Structure 1
Amino acid sequence: MTGGTKEKTTARRRGKPIEVWVTEEEKTVISEKAKEAGMSRSGYLRALGLNTPIRSVVDLKAVADLAKVNGDLGRVAGLLKFWLAEKRGQGGDPIDVERTMIEFRELQGQIRETMSMIVYARKG
């Protein structure tokens, strides 16, 4: 470390360092990508060098957000179903309500697929 600042580290030294010469801009980009992945620069570069999949913290946050939307869609579809059962179609055509519920379920399936692709198929 230079400049008298210390980074928090809980990792122990693993062996010998490898020097990699980069521009200031490249160092900044590497630092940002490591932060997005929730990793140190060293850990990030090690994972890349060893071809280890790197999952972005940002991607995992997006999956959590999609899970909330998916739950909301399920609750809305449930309310529509309840309304249809209680009101026997008053104020709306039962076929339209049923079609909307089917579309919600299809959208939920698409959201689940997207979440799976992000979590399981994303590689560094």
Structure 2
Amino acid sequence: MTRKSSTPIKVYCLPDEKELIEAQANRAGMSAARYLREVGQGYHISGVVDYQQVRELARINGDLGRLGGLLKLWLTDDVRTAQFGQSTVLAVLSKIETTQEEMGKIMTRVVMPRSEL
């Protein structure tokens, strides 16, 4: 027997409830019917990964690597960095901190626990 040939369960809900259910199903990467069927059967809805956000994290990770390499070069007293002063190093450290914060925000959005939708 297939689901299409079985008896449906009708769920009446207000327009805002329907919108919320559809939004949560969408965030979980499911149709509304599948979402309701799985939640109704007690299944734990696990996270879904947003691949666009993962690419953004990879870009940020590259930025952090370059900034870290530059900082390492400064700390080794390399002649190529002799013209840079303490203010430049502090600016790089600040940029690293800002980038880490940005990365943390994206990481929060990347893995969306479906059970918390």
> Which TM class, normalised by the smaller chain length?
0.5 to 0.7
Number of corresponding residues: 109
Give the direction of change, closer, same or farther, for the CA distance of 1:63–1:93 in structure 2 (3 Å limit).
same
Q: Alpha-carbon deviation of 1:88? A: 4.3
The TM-score, its normalising length taken from structure 1, stands at 0.55
Unaligned runs of at least 5 residues, structure 2: none
Give the direction of change, closer, same or farther, for the CA distance of 1:62–1:19 in structure 2 (3 Å limit).
same
Large movers: runs of 4+ above 4 Å = 98-101, 107-112
Letter in 2 for 1:89: A
- Counterpart of 1:48 in 2: which secondary structure? helix
- Pairwise mapping of residues 7-26 of structure 1 onto structure 2 (< 5 A)? 13=3, 15-26=6-17
2:38 and 2:79 map into 1 onto residues whose CA distance is 56
Unaligned runs of at least 5 residues, structure 1: 1-11
Tell me, yes or no, if structure 1 residue 91 matches structure 2 residue 84: yes
CA offsets 1:16-40 (integer angstroms, 9 cap, x no match): 4322111222212212222222211
The TM-score, its normalising length taken from structure 2, stands at 0.57
Give the direction of change, closer, same or farther, for the CA distance of 1:72–1:122 in structure 2 (3 Å limit).
same
Tell me, yes or no, if structure 1 residue 66 matches structure 2 residue 57: yes
1:98 and 1:86 map into 2 onto residues whose CA distance is 19
- Counterpart of 1:78 in 2: which secondary structure? helix
Please say if residues 64 and 96 of structure 2, whose CA atoms lie closer than 8 Å, have aligned partners that are also in contact. yes
Tell me, yes or no, if structure 1 residue 53 matches structure 2 residue 45: yes
Give the direction of change, closer, same or farther, for the CA distance of 1:87–1:35 in structure 2 (3 Å limit).
same
What RMSD in Å do the two structures reach over aligned CA positions?
4.1
- Counterpart of 1:47 in 2: which secondary structure? helix
Instruction: Calculate percent identity across the aligned residue pairs.
Output: 35
Give the direction of change, closer, same or farther, for the CA distance of 1:86–1:56 in structure 2 (3 Å limit).
same
- Pairwise mapping of residues 37-48 of structure 1 onto structure 2 (< 5 A)? 37-48=28-39
